[in-house]
Amino acid sequence: MVGTSVMGEPNSFLATEKEYGDFVLEFEFKIDSTLNSGVQFRSLSRPDYMKGRVHGYQFELDPSSRAWTGGIYDEARNGWLYALNLNPKGQTAFRQSAWNKARIECIGTSLRTWVNGIPAAHLIDATTAKGFIALQVHAIGKKEDAGKQIMWRNIRIKTNKLKPAPLQGVFVINTIPNSLSEAEKKAGSITFV
């Protein structure tokens, strides 16, 4: 799949017709070093919400020096839920000008991501239990960014017999009030967000 940036167009999405709740999604991607993009998951588009605007979780694709590929952004809702500055090792996983492998694991309220086998984000959140998956081509603001591409290949999803990957040892963000995730219990510390 190839997405191409177009001047004057808003964010665009190629979405599944089916909604997914618990799943493991794996894909490979290659992105122009000047673009920003993402993959939506457990996302929605309803006429009663911002006139149908796509909203929900997004696996960030960020080739900039900020290096937040694999972070979790909440498109058109709450903004950053898990910025990758919380995981410096995860910031080193993305490879410029190369194919990269991504993994998104959503089981219950646990949302985790990996980039090239390196744990990136671990979010505990109950905002959206299921929704569509969509490949995003981000809007651009400069004419010179028109015609840049992002490519995806080997897209695979598993929806049954899911087993969470072993705990990944990254900082956990838990947005559910008065709850502790298994990772937080094992770490022996409590972080309030």
Q: Is residue 102 included in any domain, yes or no?
A: yes
Inter-CA distances, 126 with 6, 57, 61, 75, 191, Å? 34, 11, 23, 15, 17
Q: Is residue 87 included in any domain, yes or no?
A: yes
Per-residue pLDDT at 1: 95
- Domain containing 119: what range? 2-165
Per-residue pLDDT at 192: 52
CATH value at residue 75 = 2.60.120.560
Q: Is residue 188 included in any domain, yes or no?
A: no
Per-residue pLDDT at 188: 59
Q: Is residue 142 included in any domain, yes or no?
A: yes
Q: Is residue 116 included in any domain, yes or no?
A: yes
Per-residue pLDDT at 181: 79
Cα–Cα distance, 77 to 56 (Å, whole number) = 7
* Residue 138, C-beta contacts closer than 8 angstroms, at least 6 positions apart: 5, 11, 35, 36, 37, 38
Cα–Cα distance, 62 to 136 (Å, whole number) = 12
Q: Is residue 178 included in any domain, yes or no?
A: no
**pTM to 2 decimal places:** 0.93
Per-residue pLDDT at 180: 85
Per-residue pLDDT at 102: 98
How many domains, in total, are found in the chain? 1
Per-residue pLDDT at 129: 98
Per-residue pLDDT at 84: 96
Per-residue pLDDT at 179: 86
Q: Is residue 179 included in any domain, yes or no?
A: no
Work out the mean pLDDT of the chain and round it to a whole number: 93
Q: Is residue 186 included in any domain, yes or no?
A: no
pLDDT digits (tens, 9 = 90+) for 47-74: 999 999 999 999 999 999 999 999 999 9
Per-residue pLDDT at 124: 96
Give pLDDT < 50 ranges for the chain: 193
